[in-house]
Structure 1
Amino acid sequence: MKMRLNLSLLLISTALSPVALANTSYPDGYYLEAEGLSGNALKDMLGVIAARGQKQLTYTQVWSALKDTNEDPNNPNNVILYYSGRSQSKDFTSSGNNDKNAWNREHLWPKSFGFKRKDQWGYTDIHHLQPTDAEINSIRSNKDFDFGGAPMKKSPLNKTDYDSFEPRDAVKGDTARSLFYMAVRYEGNNAKMPDLYLVDDTSSSSGQPKVGKLCTLLQWHNADPVDDWERNRHEKAVKWQGNRNPFIDNPSWVNDIYDSRCNG
């Protein structure tokens, strides 16, 4: 039986040395229109703000972007892989390489759930793309995120079962904020994208623009707050893509929008 737990996470410290912090300031008034809002009104306004300045990357450019955003601060020739936490050569990718230990481009919001074409902006949005071990990426596939499952042999801090995937504690909050961003940024009115939405179950299926599990993601967001690594990565992503993830800049907005759906 899948475990349904009240969250009490012991967050695992990463082996990374302190990263050099990027300038995390944004222009005065950047979020002015969102001040004082909550619920759906806040969600809608953040969607407008999150779209501003966004540049659509090519899928080839994503390789270069991830080599920058996820660079190992201890070794500039390597990237830190998202699920495993392993430091690996930037050049050991799955591009033209079938080695299961190579790294590839993981869509945290599976592209089969709403954007299968490369001309759709979510396909190359690096706010939810991460470098991952190819084998672990394949095992995660397009499963929803939730607690439970068996530890993975290759990377036992991650767990999986037939319908869900639980990432290691150190990236639980990062995962949640990426998905909250996607659900706010893409509401079906631009970027050749459908309205992406979060559900509180693990019943997602290919072609439907939904991902779960909402209330688990909310718990992960609250238990694993934004840290220096995530903040620094965000600033690098902004330089590549031009737009911001409002839930990294202002984490309290997640609860302002979603808390009533889980704790109402």
Structure 2
Amino acid sequence: MQKIIFTLILISLSIFCFAQGNYYDSVIDLTGQTLYTALHSLISTNTNNSYNGSKAFLFQQLDNVNGYVTCIYTGQSFYVGYNYTGSTNPNTEHIYAQSWFGVENDPVRRSDLHHLFPSDSNVNSARSNYPLFTVANHNSANVYYSYTPWQSYRGLSASGYTVFEPADESKGNVARALLYFNTRYYDTLTQQNVNMIPDLVVWNTQDPPDAAEIARNNAIYEFQNNRNPYVDHPEFVDRIWTTPITDDAITSPPSYLSLSSISPNPFHNTAVINIKSQDVGKAEISIYNLKGQKIRTWNQTLLSGSTEIIWDGTNSSGTKVPSGIYLINIKSGGETITAKVLFN
């Protein structure tokens, strides 16, 4: 049995490597803004604009396992047979909401399978076009559903905005779909005053691609001739979004904000976060754990030049946090920076 399992693993890895081929040769050593821009050029080869064709492929082949499809938010299985087109229940969820499209009613965006998933129609309606982000208090949120294999939530973020938090089991899939969409179309990931990027970076780490997601990426490539690079190389997410870059990087003005250093890193007692700004301005500096929970926030006026923030490894209640990796998120003047720090 062990020999058979090992053989299957090798076959799966071989298919994965063959499917990628030399697709990423031109970008594999890049980082930051350069990688982001190069990936945009690399993956902008999909021209499929048939939404009906995409839905038929989604429900009849791509996500169909023995006649069943699974809701991206609840894990609930629906028997749909092999001729279903996703028009009733379940229906088709656009992870990047259609109302957010940078080009209204664009058929290519609408038909892009990298962000289309089966969904319970009621949960799809409940998600609406709310940002995909962490709900601060699950106890006071709407849960979808307590009786299904997975639970997603609609409620308030820590900043008081209505958001939709996907189930832990699908957080990584959702994050990589949204980051793909931003990279492919340059459409913003700040919606309804919520910048989703910090949570998406965490979710990508928390829920890495599994064999099913990799196989899905391969099948979509065959159908529409482009890949989701963050499924093939989830480390690209850190290479781009843990260096100074905004989610609208290609059209953003020159950066006036930078993270000069985190010292020491790793740290045990205190870490000094050195922020450089060309102008005086207000900033929100937040610490997130790898579950996407905001554990500490400073509202700070940045000086022109350098500003230091000292973190002593405690949360907002003054309690020491567990050892591990944390994300520092800095927002000021429409710019966002995310970086990692190790507390031990």
Q: Distance in 2 between matches of 1:258 and 1:88?
A: 36
Q: CA RMSD in A?
A: 2.4
Q: Which runs of 5+ in 1 are unaligned?
A: 1-17, 188-195, 205-211
Q: 2:52 aligns with which of 53, 60, 70?
A: 60
Please tell me whether Structure 1 or Structure 2 has the larger radius of gyration of its CA atoms. Answer: 2
TM-score (norm 2): 0.59
User: Could you say which residue in structure 1 is the equivalent of 2:338?
Assistant: 262
Structure 1 residues 185 and 153: CA distance shift in structure 2, 3 A? closer
More strand by share: 2
Q: Distance in 2 between matches of 1:244 and 1:237?
A: 7
Q: SS where residue 164 of structure 1 aligns?
A: strand
**Amino acid in structure 1 at the alignment position of 2:208:** P
Letter in 2 for 1:87: S
- % identity of equivalent residues: 27
Give the match's secondary structure for 2:36.
helix
Secondary structure class of the residue paired with 1:226: coil
Q: Is residue 223 of structure 1 aligned with residue 189 of structure 2?
A: no
Q: Distance in 2 between matches of 1:37 and 1:240?
A: 27
Give 1:28 deviation, angstroms.
3.9
Q: How does 1:57-206 map to 2 (within 5 A)?
A: 57-67=49-59, 68-72=61-65, 76-90=66-80, 95=87, 97=88, 102-114=89-101, 117-148=104-135, 149=138, 150-154=141-145, 155=148, 157-161=151-155, 163-187=162-186, 196-199=187-190, 203=193
Which is bigger in relative contact order (C-alpha 8 A, separation at least 6)? 1
* Aligned counterparts of 1:88 and 1:35: Cα–Cα separation in 2: 39
Q: TM-score, normalised by structure 1?
A: 0.76
**What is the alpha-carbon distance in structure 2 between the residues aligned to residue 30 and residue 173 of structure 1?**
22
Find 1:239's aligned residue among 222, 225, 228: 222
**Shift of residue 178 of structure 1?**
0.6
SS class of match (2:338): helix
- SS of 1:152's partner is strand
Q: Cα 1:183–1:116, aligned 2, differ >3 Å: closer, same or farther? A: closer
Q: Secondary structure at the match of 2:202?
A: helix
How many residues matched?
A: 221
Matched, 1:249 2:232: yes
Residue aligned with 2:97, SS: coil
- Paired residue type of 1:237: I
Q: 2:133 touches 2:199 (CA, 8 Å); kept in 1?
A: yes
Q: Which residue type is aligned with residue 175 of structure 1?
A: V
Matched residue SS, 1:180? helix
